Amino acid sequence: MKWGKTTKIGSGNLVQLERRILADCYQLTWQKDMCPGCTLCASVCRQEAIRYRPGKVENGRLAAPPTIEIQAEDCNLCGACVVICPGRAFRLKANGQRWVPVEDTKVLPVFQYGITVDAAGCTVDCQAACAAACPLEAITVATAESEQGPTVRVHVDRDQCFYCQQCAAACPEQCITVNQAYEGALAVAADRCPPGCSICADACPTDALQAGADGVTARPDFCLFCGVCADLCPAEGALTFRRYGVKCSQVRSGTWLSAVEILFKSGAKAGVLAGRGGEKRARLYRSRIS
């Protein structure tokens, strides 16, 4: 491998881009089973290194999910995809440690995801409901004996977590608190859905859309707000999807302003532009989308 050349390694579920410069090793990893199949990473990539591949639909079902392809020769390892991806399918490291240049230089903000578990409130009676509900098997539950009786230990692999809130909803003791960075709205008008169509539910990585005997129903609290359902829905007016905000740190950059236009369009909250000079940028943003 030549120094400074980015090489693609691996295939299948894990694809890795690696660049070596003298003793330093930089690695971007894309995990396919965490990719929701939306267009956000490709839309914000200024190098156009990410190519979107549409899914395949047959008879009201999703026959093949949409996906992406990364061009190693075009990628500069800036980390914009790491920040923006609602499924958190990207990881970027330098010499084994997390490293995201666009965050470190405040070109893009740090999105505020979080999950806490009050293990003291956990009981052995729930049969690890949180782990069973997790779509990515990111939660492991172990029990141990103590003088006070059996205790429960819950471990969350945050690198494998969607922060979709399914674990919190499943916990009977309400011991789990999840903070999803993106904010938005999701609803389904079942009377407008084509008969037998479940494309959106097939595509949803977190069961925020579920197909049943009465059609598709929405669970907005599980939604990543990736928008893949809206991209695939064939019926106008059947699906209402809007991404209107994100919990994040404060930055002031033209790159973030451009990303806001892509992410939120006319539904953006002025709050995502907060910070010194933020109101001026918010007024500019409103004038550009009005």
Per-residue pLDDT tens for 199-234? 999 999 999 999 998 899 999 999 999 999 999 999
pLDDT confidence of residue 259? 94
Per-residue pLDDT band for 3 (boundaries 50, 70, 90) equals low
Closest to 58 (Cα-Cα) out of 193, 211, 228, 198: 198
Per-residue pLDDT band for 2 (boundaries 50, 70, 90) equals low
CA distance 254 to 84: 16
Higher pLDDT: 11 or 97? It is 97
The pLDDT mean for the chain works out to 89
**What average pLDDT does the segment 139-166 reach?**
89
Q: How far is CA 272 from CA 163, 240, 253, in A?
A: 20, 22, 12
CA distance 262 to 123: 44
The predicted model scores a pTM of 0.87
Residue 114: strand pairing partners: 179
Cβ atoms 200, 242 nearer than 8 A: no
Per-residue pLDDT band for 124 (boundaries 50, 70, 90) equals confident
Q: Which residues of 240-265 are buried (b: 16+ CB within 10 A; e: fewer)?
A: ebbbbbbbbeebbbebbbebbeebbe
Higher pLDDT: 170 or 272? It is 170
Per-residue pLDDT tens for 256-270? 999 999 998 744 444
pLDDT confidence of residue 199? 97
pLDDT at 276 over 60: no
96: alpha, beta or left, given left = phi > 0 and alpha = psi -120 to 50? left
Cβ atoms 31, 161 nearer than 8 A: no
Closest to 88 (Cα-Cα) out of 52, 51, 138, 122: 138
Higher pLDDT: 281 or 17? It is 17
Cβ atoms 166, 211 nearer than 8 A: no
pLDDT confidence of residue 28? 97
pLDDT confidence of residue 210? 95
Per-residue pLDDT tens for 92-123? 999 999 999 999 999 999 999 999 999 888 88
Higher pLDDT: 18 or 268? It is 18
